Amino acid sequence: MSLLMNYTDQRYVEIAQKVFQEQFKRDPKLEKEMDERRKRLMYEDVVYNISFLMTAVHFSDGKIFEGYAKWIYELLCNLMKDLDRDRIMEHMNDHYRILSEILNSCPQTLLSEDELKKATNYLEIAREVTAKAVTEISLSFNFHDGEHYEIRKAYLDALLKNQTRVAHTVINEAKQQGLSLIDIYEEVLTKVMIESGNLWHKNIITIDKEHYITSVTQSVLSGFYDEIFSKPRKNKRILACAVGSELHEMGVRMLSDIFEYRGWDSYYMGAALPEESILKAVKEYQPDFVAFSVTIPLYLPTCEKIVKSVKEKYPKVRIAVGGQAFRNTEKLWEKWEVDYYSLSANDFVKWAEKQIIKKNIKKDG
């Protein structure tokens, strides 16, 4: 008897139907994720998966099914862009697990004992390679570049798999190993946040996943507050806010944290603050510096208008700008009345402190 899939063989048809029905029974979310067209295609995939498995068993070649498992996973990720890679991994690994259970419950007239062992082993390998494939994605040069790549990759991998606890553990262990708060903020968290935005733009992750990464990173930041606020004060103030969408304020929030860590009093105003509210805040807090961050280029005109208003009303206040929106411009900041531009929060802090020293020298002179 040939082990190659016979699409008319009632035994294999029954197995495919059982796997399909059992998967919907165990995973209620599938009903919402699968319309009738997807259900039909999913059933066809079940049949196709069994065919590839039987082919691998026939030739005693697990690489056949391992390669197929990687291929079908990436195909489904490209076809079902509304679902995260980790969710599609759950689909496939549940399928492989159920298929293994059902095959092992079948009489040995279908597969011999040796053939069943091979099929079970190949399905286990398929689960392993599919789980690994969740994080096997193309990452940007900027993400690879710089120190502590292994730590930020481990943090990103945990987030791509929805492993919140693991993500926190990665950062906590980095702290215990002596990595400074500045390095964690700049080399790990900032680069992961930027990369998650890139992955969303490339349609590799969903917007829900990007928001999840942001949410977890916000909770990670809160774990540093005891350390941040324990530093001696320098009696210097900075007011910081993000211009535009409230969904893109992480960068300026981390900037405020780093200033606090260096002994400044920071007034973090969040995002989407009206111009008049910003002017009122400058008057109330009388900061030494005001920092504006812009992520989306559409908000650059808004930022320019706010910068002009602040300079017009408070000409002695020094202004810095930053954010991803400035990265692909012809040094736009040089055309504005700003005192400093940088994509690095730490560089900005160092520059600001140098300006304070210069100012004090002038006073003493």
Domain ranges of the chain: 10-133, 141-222, 232-364
Q: What's the predicted TM-score (pTM) here?
A: 0.80
Class of domain 10-133: mainly alpha
| Tokens at 19, concatenated | 């796997």
> What residues contact residue 290 under an 8 Å CB cut-off, 6+ apart?
238, 239, 240, 282, 310, 317, 318, 319, 320
Residue 69, judged by CB atoms within 10 A of its CB (0-12, 13-18, 19+), counts as buried
What local confidence, expressed as pLDDT, does residue 328 receive? 83
**Alpha carbon distances (Å) from 5 to 90, 126, 127:** 25, 19, 21
- May I ask the CATH architecture of the domain 232-364? 3-Layer(aba) Sandwich (3.40)
Averages of pLDDT over each 10 residues, the chain, 365 residues: 50 89 96 94 91 90 93 93 94 97 85 94 97 94 93 97 97 96 95 93 91 95 92 93 78 92 93 92 96 90 95 95 89 93 90 80 55
What local confidence, expressed as pLDDT, does residue 363 receive? 57
What local confidence, expressed as pLDDT, does residue 365 receive? 52
> What residues contact residue 88 under an 8 Å CB cut-off, 6+ apart?
73, 76, 77, 80
What local confidence, expressed as pLDDT, does residue 247 receive? 62
Indicate if the alpha-carbon torsion angle 21, 125, 139, 86 is positive or negative.
Answer: positive
What is the topology classification, in CATH, of domain 141-222?
A: 1.10.1240
